[in-house]
Each structure stands twice: as structure tokens, then as C-alpha cells.
Amino acid sequence: MCLLMVRCPQTGEEVWTGIETDPASFTNIPDGLFYTYCPHCRHDHAWWPDEAWLAYGMLRQQPSTAVFVGNLCVPRAPSALIS
Ligand SMILES: [Zn+2]
């Protein structure tokens, strides 16, 4: 599995969206606006799927709030999900 990442517009840091997926499923994520809590600037960021990318390897930070639950994704912290 890969980690779906976006970039924090405030700090330029990479932010994990809380979504784990694979390259095939990533292309099937519906186009829409998603929100992810950013641990760097402590705000929620809105992002579009075409702004996100897949990261391979170890997670470098603690999972933040996952706000998108799709049938393509496996949330790491179910208690943090907003459905
Ligand atoms: Zn941020």
C-alpha cells in the first residue's frame, strides 16, 4: 500500500491524508474536494485528488485525522473518521 500525500500550503511540508491506497485504486478516487488536518500548521487543508500523490515507504509522522472514507481506502485511525 501507498500513502496518499498532499502538501501543506503554509509550511510546504508533506502531509499524509490518512488514506492508504495503491496506484490502481488511486486513479479511481472520485474527483472532489477533500479535507485533511495538517499537523504542521494545525489547520484543515482542502485538496483535490489531482494535487495529491502517492508516497512509498515508511510514514515519517504520526497519522493525522482522516476525513475521507472511500471503499478504496483503509483508514489508519477509524476513531478519527468523519462519515
Ligand atoms: Zn498545513
- Which residue spans within the chain are E strands per DSSP? 2-7, 14-21, 34-38, 43-47, 53-55
- What cell numbers appear for 80 in the block? 478519527
pLDDT tens digits for range 33-52: 999 999 999 999 999 999 99
pLDDT at 70 over 80: no
**Residue ranges with CB less than 5 Å from ion ligand 1:** 8, 10, 38, 40-41
pTM: 0.65
Ligand 1 center to 46 CA (angstroms): 10
**Distance from the alpha carbon of residue 74 to the mean position of ligand 1, in angstroms:** 22
Distance of CA 73 to the CA centre of its chain: 10
Q: Domain containing 14: what range?
A: 2-80
76 Cα–ligand 1 center, Å: 20
pLDDT tens-digit map of 53-68: 988 755 444 455 443 4
Closest CA to 70 of 37, 32, 38, 42: 32
pLDDT at 28 exceeding the cut of 60: yes
Count other C-beta atoms under 10 Å from residue 28's C-beta: 11
Give me the number of domains the chain comprises: 1
